[in-house]
Structure 1
């Protein structure tokens, strides 16, 4: 019996599914090492970076932008 290739997921689709099942392992590893909880904007930016999105963070001096850059380096 032959199977149709059209029913099979592409390599990119299989990778995307596998990555979504894995959760956010890099984010969890990174935050485990921190001695403080992240603010909402920091968490959202880091999760976006891990999902291969670019981010632009605009916040006042001392708000915690650097930790997002550190996470980008961690990746």
Structure 2
């Protein structure tokens, strides 16, 4: 798990002494379970989803809304 820069925090103080830690790469599931979750502190993961198909397919600036309409079209239900 790599923090963006050692000791670098995002944003202003959220609560007395509580700050969010920023990561530039996602931790593994084991790292998250051992290092992030037990501390119960906010964490910001920037840019980690850019390689995901959903990131490009759902982008509204590149036809993403059309993709969603076709893939997850509205359903008509009849309730009785």
> Is TM (by shorter chain) over 0.5?
no
TM-score relative to the length of structure 2? 0.23
Higher relative contact order (CA 8 A, sep 6+): 1
Structure with greater strand share of residues: 2
Relative to the length of structure 1, the TM-score reads 0.24
Give the structure with higher Rg (CA): 2
